[in-house]
Structure 1
Amino acid sequence: MPGVIERDEEADGAQAVLDPKLELEAERIAEALVFASAQPVSEGYIASRLPRGADVPRIMARLKSIYAERGVNLVQVAEHWAFRTAADLSFVVQTDENEVRKLSRAALEVLAIIGYHQPVTRAEIEDIRGVQTSKGTLDVLMEAGWIRFRGRRRTPGRPVTFGTTRDFLDHFGLEDLRDLPGLEELKGAGLLSGRIPSNFQIPVPLGDDGLGDDEDPITQLDLEELGLLVPTGGDEE
């Protein structure tokens, strides 16, 4: 193929690589695709628009390094990419219109529990908090786009499980759930008191959007039951 240099065919897992000119062009295309999108762009979508043989992770890593010291940074959000204002310049572009409504303490607690313990049911959230969780609190987090229904637990009653979304990662500047702060980071930020129990542990998020072995996928009937879809039963004439 013109413009493509083939690796040794005998090498296991060998892939075609682009010559320098085509790789530069692929880099420019990837940059334009992310810049033009209002939402984070998946690596799969970028790969579908680049010349065959383009190494998307390497191209995105190079672009990320180029923008690392600029006013906007290229950031990774769960295998998606987006341009975001550099963290130290966020105050410059903040406006009253864009100010996000502050969450209540209850909503913050629930969001933290879902972030660290997902997949988690409402009953499990309440067990961790020690108090009941109102539907309104969950609704606020749903409307913000930070939590979602993951599936249904394979236990009596088939309770719904909750998890965080890509928008959650994007808003809080996380590439992956594993980037959530650990015990020492939380203590260093003053979010945990110095008198916590010696056996206190911060759970390590799995960082996996796939359903667990004890979860079933959400179906259309489930969404109707949860009031998220209008029943699809045929109307009698």
Structure 2
Amino acid sequence: MDHEEKTEERMELHARNLRIMEALLFASAEPLALSEIQPYLSDGADPEVLARELQEIYAPRGIDLVRRGSKWAFRTAEDLNFLLRREETENKPLSRAALETLSIIAYHQPVTRAEIEEVRGVSISKGTLDVLMEAGWVRMRGRRRTPGRPVTYGTTEAFLDHFGLETLGDLPGLEDLKGAGLLSSRIPPSFQVPLPHDGGLREDEDPLDPDDAGDEDISAEDDDRTRE
């Protein structure tokens, strides 16, 4: 096989890999990790390179290939969202407590229940965290290496997907929040928007215990609060 034939074969294989990735992402109802796509590609194919190329191909179209944390998905181009009419359903809006709790978790993660309450200045019910976890936006990350080993919370990739964020670094910054009227223009010059931890367990976190349930928040932290 001469050089020209080898080049043509590589191009055909590359095009096939792109089509495979495109088909898998199109057919999936949820964002996919590149590791889930890799087994379907040819040996030596780089899924990251393929994803970026596919992203460029779709950039001028009505559908975008977007990254959501460590996963990828096709989504309607942001400037065309107004054209879509979703079926109207009765959705119970999040309470103010749930919205505040979600915001605190997003910016302060990993964060414990006691730390959430310290930021809010009031206590939160277990039901508030349950609502956010049932929505798939908040998860139990691990347990803090402090007395009582309280559970730490963080956001999920479903949270990124719902709010159109590629990473937690895309959360609105100080000037964005001021511009949206969510922060006073008279805040102290030293005020800084918290930087969330976007990754695995930190040094001050242990993995969840084997018997930790995804929908429960039973910890020594809670027991201590009950006794107080």
TM-score range, shorter chain: 0.7 to 0.9
**Which structure has the higher relative contact order (CA within 8 Å, separation 6+)?**
2
Q: 1 CA distance for matches of 2:43 and 2:6? A: 8
Cα deviation 1:96-135 (Å, max 9, x = unaligned)? 4357542222211111110111110000000011111122
Retained in 2: the 8 A contact 1:4–1:53? no
Quickly say closer, same or farther: Cα 1:224–1:124, change in 2 above 3 A: closer
Q: 2 CA distance for matches of 1:84 and 1:141? A: 23
| Superposition TM-score, scaled by structure 1 size | 0.83
Quickly say closer, same or farther: Cα 1:156–1:225, change in 2 above 3 A: farther
Say whether 1:93 aligns with 2:78. Answer: no
Retained in 1: the 8 A contact 2:33–2:72? yes
Pairs within 5 Å for 1:1-237: 19-97=10-88, 100-208=91-199, 210-223=200-213, 226=216
Q: 2 CA distance for matches of 1:29 and 1:224? A: 34
Residue 227 of structure 1, CA deviation: 7.4
Q: 1 CA distance for matches of 2:138 and 2:14? A: 38
Q: 1 CA distance for matches of 2:66 and 2:42? A: 23
Cα deviation 1:56-110 (Å, max 9, x = unaligned)? 1111111111212222211111121111112222233233435754222221111
Residue 41 of structure 1, CA deviation: 0.8
Q: 2 CA distance for matches of 1:227 and 1:35? A: 36
| Superposition TM-score, scaled by structure 2 size | 0.86
Retained in 1: the 8 A contact 2:66–2:166? yes
Q: Amino acid of the residue matched to residue 213 of structure 1?
A: E
Quickly say closer, same or farther: Cα 1:99–1:171, change in 2 above 3 A: farther
**Structure 2: gaps (5+ residues):** 219-228
Residue 21 of structure 1, CA deviation: 1.4
- The percent of aligned pairs where both chains have the same amino acid is 59
Q: 2 CA distance for matches of 1:207 and 1:110? A: 18
Q: After the TM superposition, which segments of 4 or more aligned residues of structure 1 sit over 4 Å from their partners?
A: none
Cα deviation 1:170-203 (Å, max 9, x = unaligned)? 1011111111111111112222121112211101
**Structure 1: gaps (5+ residues):** 6-17, 229-237
Secondary structure in 1 matching 2:211: helix
Q: 2 CA distance for matches of 1:4 and 1:33? A: 27
Residue-pair matches, total:
215
Q: 1 CA distance for matches of 2:214 and 2:21? A: 39
